[in-house]
Chains A and B, each alone.
Chain A
Amino acid sequence: MASDTLNEPTNLKVRELLKEVQLDYSPPFTKLVDDTVSAIKDAIDKIPEDLQVTADVAPGFIRDIGADKVEFTFKKPESVEIGGSYSMRCVAKPDVNVDVFVRMPKEIFHEKDYLNYRYHAKRFLYLCIIKRYLKLSSVAQKVEWSTFHNESRKPILVVHPAMKIAEAPVVLVRIIPTATSAFNVAKLNMKRNNIRSLNQGDVLQPTPKYNSSILEDLFLEDNAEFVRRTFLGWKELGEALILLKVWARQRSSIYNHDCLSGFLISVIMAYLATKSGGNRVNKSMNTMQIFRVTMDFIATSKSWATGLFFHPQGEWSTSKAERRASLESFPAIICDQFSGFNFTFRMTKGGFLELQDEAALTLSGIDKCTDGGFDEVFMTKVDFPAKYDYCIRLNLKGCMEVSALGFCLDDECWRLYEQKVLSLMHQGLNDRAKVIRVIWRNTPSGCNLEDGLSVLDREPLLIGISVDTLDKALRVVDIGPNAENKDEALKFRKFWGDKSELRRFKDGTIAESTVWECKQWERHLIIKRISEHVLMRHLSLSQECITTVVDQLDFSLLCGNEDPISFSTSLLEAFEVLSKHLRLLDDIPLRISSVQPLDPAFRFTSVFPPKPHPLALSKGVKPRFQKLTSSCIQSLDVMIQLEGSGNWPMGDVAIEKTKSAFLLKIGQSLQSNWGMTCNATEDNVVVFTSGYAFRLKILHERGLTIGSNQVKRVPSTDKILNMCNMHSSMINGLQGRYPVYGPVVRLAKRWVAAHLLSTSLGEEAIELLVAYLFMKPLPFHVPSSRITGFLRFLRLLSDYDWAFSPLIVDINGDLTPKDEKEVNVNFMSSRKAYEENMQNPSPAMFLATAYDKLSEAWTRSSPTSSELRRLAAYAKSSANLLAKLILQDELDSYRWECLFRTPLNNYNAIVLLHRDRLPYPQHLLFPSELNQGMHVVRGKSSKKFHPLLLPGDMKGSLEDLKQKLMVNFDPLRCFVYDMEAKFPNKFKVWYDSLGGDAIGLTWERSGSKKRGREEMGEEEDLVNVLKSVGEVGKGFVRSIYLPKAK
Chain B
Amino acid sequence: MVTRGDGLPKPSGLKKIKKKDKLAEIVPETYKNEVKEENKKNKSLGRKRGVREMRSRSKATVVDQHDIEVPETYMNEVKEEKKKNKSLGQKRGVREMGSRSKATVVVQHDIEDAADSKNNERKLLRKKKRKRDRMNTSEIGKVDEQHDYAEDASDKQNDEHTQGKKKDGKLRKRGRSTEKKKKSGIDQGNVLHDKVEDDSKEENGKSRKARSGKKGHLSSKKKEKLLEKREPAQNEIHEISSGDEDSSKGMKKWITEYHQNRPGLEILQQRIDDFMTAYGEQQEQARKEQEALAAEGGWTVVVHHKGRKKTTDAESGIAVGSVAQAAVLEKEAKKKSKTKDIGVDFYRFQKREAQRNEIMALQSKFEQDKKRIQQLRAARRFRPF
Contact = CB atoms under 8 A, between A and B. Distances in A.
A293 interface: no
Contacts of A1039: 237
Contact of B174 (A17, A250, A1017): A1017
A5 B273 CA distance: 66
16 contacts: A9-B369, A16-B376, A246-B384, A649-B279, A667-B265, A678-B265, A682-B271, A803-B375, A804-B376, A917-B251, A940-B241, A942-B244, A1019-B229, A1030-B240, A1031-B240, A1034-B249
Interface stretch (A224-232, A654-662, A759-767, A880-888): A654-662
A8 B369 CA distance: 8
B369 A971 contact: no
Contact of B382 (A13, A934, A1017, A1046): A13
A969 B269 contact: no
A5 B361 CA distance: 12
B250 A5 contact: no
B142 to A, nearest CB: 10
Interface stretch (B47-55, B315-323, B330-338, B340-348): B315-323
Given A664-B272, A681-B261, A1016-B88, A1033 B250 contact: yes
Interface of A: 5, 8-9, 12-13, 16-17, 19-21, 94, 246, 249-250, 378-379, 646, 649, 651, 653-654, 657-658, 660-661, 664-665, 667-668, 671, 678-682, 701, 705-706, 710, 801, 803-804, 828, 917, 934-945, 966, 969, 971, 974-975, 978, 1014-1017, 1019-1020, 1023-1024, 1027-1028, 1030-1037, 1039, 1045-1046
Interface stretch (B14-22, B108-116, B202-210, B252-260): B252-260
Contacts of A646: 322
A938 B251 contact: no
B177 interface: yes
A778 B290 CA distance: 65
B249 A1032 contact: yes
The 10 closest A-B pairs by CB, nearest first: A1034-B250, A1034-B243, A1035-B251, A939-B240, A942-B251, A940-B242, A681-B261, A974-B254, A16-B382, A1035-B243
Given A8-B369, A12-B369, A667-B265, A935 B237 contact: yes
A959 to B, nearest CB: 12
B88 A1034 contact: no
Interface range, B side: 35 or more
A935 B232 CA distance: 6
Interface string B252-295: 11110110011001001101110110010000000000000000
Given A682-B271, A942-B242, A978-B249, 16 more contacts: A9-B372, A12-B373, A20-B382, A246-B384, A657-B276, A660-B272, A680-B265, A681-B268, A801-B376, A804-B375, A942-B244, A942-B251, A1023-B225, A1031-B250, A1032-B250, A1034-B240
B377 interface: yes
Given A682-B271, A944-B251, A1024-B139, A937 B238 contact: yes
Contacts of A680: 262, 265, 268
Interface of B: 85, 88-89, 92, 136, 138-139, 174, 177-178, 220, 225, 228-229, 232, 237-244, 246, 249-255, 257-258, 261-262, 265, 268-269, 271-273, 275-276, 279, 316, 318-320, 322, 325, 362, 366, 368-370, 372-373, 375-377, 381-385
Contacts, number: 191
A1036 B243 CA distance: 9
A1023 B246 CA distance: 23
A902 B153 CA distance: 49
Most chain A CB neighbours (cut-off 10 Å) among B174, B240, B268, B316? B240
Given A680-B268, A682-B268, A706-B318, A651 B279 contact: yes
Contacts of B254: 969, 971, 974-975
Given A8-B369, A1024-B220, A1036 B251 contact: yes
A941 B370 contact: no
B318 A1036 contact: no
Contacts of A651: 279
A975 B255 CA distance: 12
A944 B138 CA distance: 27
Contacts of A1028: 138
A20 B251 contact: no
Nearest to B238: A937
Contacts of B244: 942-944, 1035
A730 to B, nearest CB: 20
A804 B239 contact: no
Contacts of A661: 269, 272-273, 276
Contacts of A681: 261-262, 268
Contacts of A678: 265
B268 A658 contact: no
Contact of B246 (A21, A668, A1024, A1034): A1034
B242 A941 contact: yes
Contacts of A664: 265, 268-269, 272
A1046 B231 CA distance: 9
B384 A250 contact: yes
A706 B251 contact: no
A679 B262 contact: yes
A917 B241 CA distance: 15
A1035 B244 CA distance: 7
B384 A378 contact: yes
Nearest to B217: A1031
Contacts of B275: 657
Nearest to B246: A1034
Contacts of A945: 251, 255
Nearest to A668: B265
Contacts of A1034: 240-243, 246, 249-252
A682 B263 CA distance: 9
B106 to A, nearest CB: 23
A1027 B242 contact: no
A1015 B276 contact: no
A1043 to B, nearest CB: 12
Contacts of B265: 664, 667-668, 671, 678, 680
Contacts of B177: 1014, 1016-1017
B268 A936 contact: no
A16 B373 contact: yes
A1035 B229 CA distance: 25
B162 to A, nearest CB: 25
A935 B235 CA distance: 11
A1021 B209 CA distance: 24
Nearest to A371: B369
Nearest to A1041: B232
Nearest to A933: B232
Most chain A CB neighbours (cut-off 10 Å) among B89, B136, B269? B269
Nearest to A973: B254
Contacts of B376: 13, 16, 801, 804
Nearest to A1031: B249
A1034 B66 CA distance: 51
B244 to A, nearest CB: 5
A1027 B220 contact: yes
A943 B253 CA distance: 13
A632 to B, nearest CB: 10
B252 A1035 contact: yes
Contacts of A1030: 238, 240
Contacts of B383: 20
B107 to A, nearest CB: 21
A1044 B239 CA distance: 21
A489 B261 CA distance: 70
Nearest to B328: A705
B136 A19 contact: no
A657 B279 contact: yes
Contacts of B382: 13, 16-17, 19-20, 379
A943 B370 CA distance: 64
Contact of A937 (B237, B246, B261, B384): B237
A1030 B136 CA distance: 16
A192 B261 CA distance: 91
